[in-house]
Chains A and B, each alone.
Chain A
């Protein structure tokens, strides 16, 4: 008797779980698992969207890695962005987080002002920066020249386009600031008092008290920053388009990565191959490279956890 009720109870609870999970289960199957398998399938096919797909083996793979002139520049740019942009963002975000915890006057005003740029829609923010950093008429170069500093070409100069994108990324630091601020306020005050009694300098207090306490959050910021860089799409695309003066419309072919492929990122290649060249097979190869890279960093994030407390129990 009791075993029967136990079994039926179990079945009922399994059904209940299934019912609650069903939106996600359907979504996962239809919008992720199935298309991912198709991506692998298409990566071995030649397909232009019109004629039926034909099997070409690893031809798309060798094309992307050997002959597609945009792939390796995009990889190099990604590496640059991971090293320079991500690390600067973490350092600057931590700096702003520290600063905001020290400000004791009009705290709310400062916090809001520092946070607002993070909310600006990426297209709008990038267009704003393309205007602000316009080498000819932009206010930033006007001011720099007035002060007597040689003004760079920013988005129009291949050596300055990535630093310009970095500046834009630093402007939108709000999310990291909030995360660091929360972590900094959680550092036990007694540890600072003890360090002070021992005569530790401000730098020593930061190095031996603050940093060890917030290191999981720093790790979290680094890994999520790297993952975000794998997805970096709208800002470099818009910056390149606006700076090159390309007019949007039917039939316009935009040379990706203006100037001189310096703002290319991997996601842009998927668009270029798939939706401009109608080479869906090769686009799928880049998509899979992107998938592999993202999964490596995500796995790293979940192993180190940082702040992502997974099990929660």
Chain B
């Protein structure tokens, strides 16, 4: 009887003591790595969870030390939307981010293409200038820029001083696109030229379809840049609440509802949500963008 039971065990490869130690070590490592992973996941997600839970609390409970809402006040979100200005900020943000993104992409593509594929004198210098501008704090030239837009063109109180410059190429987008275009083999371009395509036609018909992932990454980064921008709207739009964006208006929300943490957190959720939603649809483009600007040449 015992022999019969032993048989299946013997069919497996015999486990040597060394293997047993190795297996136990691997298991311990698996447990250690995954518990660390769960701890890190808590660190990264709990702030979102607490913000969301607070956004559903009543006024008084938001000021208490409770972590879970007693009653789930979904009406808080309606209150945020009913706040004067909130929908206007939403609309302004979409205009700033949407129009800005289109202008940036259209104006940055030819520049990135020239920097990636043309050989000309001053190319390396141009590229270095692009990178330097990418690294520059926006505050460096803000005083003359503000005086130019506000005093000479009388455009303060609008978002145009932020949108118009985007029609003239954006350093970060040019750099990211250039990094992407470098990965497209020259053979494709040469083939197009043999077929009689001019430089412009080659860019339009051959390069752009291949560069879609790079363009998607640039568009997303630019959209989020405008969505998140606080300094720009603060400089140009602060005097006119009708021109505020969500990122700028959000902070005033805290002011308008001085201690209403529940409504402030509901508004915070509403500002974060679109960004996170878009990310779920475009994860690949994002990660590609981050690695392209950070690692690959």
Contact = CB atoms under 8 A, between A and B. Distances in A.
Interface of A: 13-14, 16-17, 19-21, 23-24, 26-28, 30-32, 34-36, 38-39, 42, 49, 96, 99-100, 102-105, 110, 112-117, 119-125, 127-129, 131-132, 134, 137, 139, 142, 171, 175, 178-179, 182-183, 186, 217, 220, 227, 230-231, 233-234, 237-238, 241-242, 245-249, 266-267, 270-271, 274-275, 280, 283-284, 286-288, 290-291, 294-295, 297-298, 301-302, 307-312
Contacts of A34: 144
Contacts of A237: 230
Given A23-B167, A249-B255, A287 B141 contact: yes
B72 interface: no
Label chain B's interface by main secondary structure: helix
Given A49-B151, A182-B295, A127 B251 contact: yes
Given A23-B168, A112-B283, A120-B275, A280 B261 contact: no
Contact of A287 (B34, B132, B139): B139
Contact of B231 (A19, A39, A233): A233
Interface in B139-154: 139-148, 151
Contact of A290 (B137, B247, B248): B137
Given A119-B275, A234-B231, A297-B135, A127 B111 contact: no
Contacts of B272: 120-121, 124-125
B65 interface: yes
A291 B136 contact: yes
B41 A24 contact: no
Given A280-B147, A308-B131, A17 B118 contact: yes
Given A117-B47, A179-B294, A247 B140 contact: no
B51 interface: yes
A267 B297 CA distance: 31
7 contacts: A13-B120, A35-B145, A35-B148, A49-B147, A103-B33, A103-B34, A310-B127
Give the size range of B's interface with the partner: 35 or more
Given A31-B165, A39-B144, A287-B141, A24 B174 contact: yes
B71 interface: no
B270 to A, nearest CB: 9
B247 A123 contact: yes
Q: Which 7 A-B pairs have the closest CB atoms?
A: A309-B297, A27-B168, A38-B144, A35-B141, A179-B294, A20-B114, A35-B144
Contacts, number: 278
A171 B51 CA distance: 14
B276 interface: yes
B83 interface: no
A227 B135 contact: yes
B88 interface: no
B27 interface: no
Contacts of A220: 294-295
B55 to A, nearest CB: 10
A128 B51 contact: yes
Interface string B44-72: 11011011001000000011110100000
A98 B43 CA distance: 17
A20 B254 contact: no
A248 B234 CA distance: 11
Contact of A132 (B47, B135, B141, B228): B47
